[in-house]
Copies of this chain bind each other. A is one copy, B any other.
Amino acid sequence: MVAVEGQGPELAKALLRVADGMAAQPGCLAYVVNAAPDEADAVWVTEIWADSASSEAALGRDIGEAGLADVLELLASPPEYIEVTPLGGPGLG
């Protein structure tokens, strides 16, 4: 996702606060916040969920609670998603 100009670091901070809350959500295997080395206002979040129901439950909860409202305020455009299905490999929780 891309922040309004100059707000990439603030967006990353807001997402790290969201990540703290996600760590406790059932089925959240990863919620890693990443900077893009050559695009200062872009932030990537790499999420791994046990199943799509867990992901939807956690997202539904969190928009109402602390965290995601701050994120939405900082965005220059709606976030882009790349959804994939894990098949295996180390690091899958």
Contacts and interface: CB of A to CB of B under 8 A. Distances in A.
Q: Can you tell how many copies of this chain the complex includes?
A: 2
Interface residues of A, number: 32
A89 B31 contact: yes
Contacts of A34: 84-87
Contact of A91 (B37, B86, B93): B93
A22 to B, nearest CB: 6
A35 B90 contact: no
A85 B37 contact: yes
B48 A16 contact: no
A75 B44 CA distance: 26
A83 interface: yes
Interface of A: 12, 15-16, 19, 22-23, 28-37, 44-46, 48, 82-93
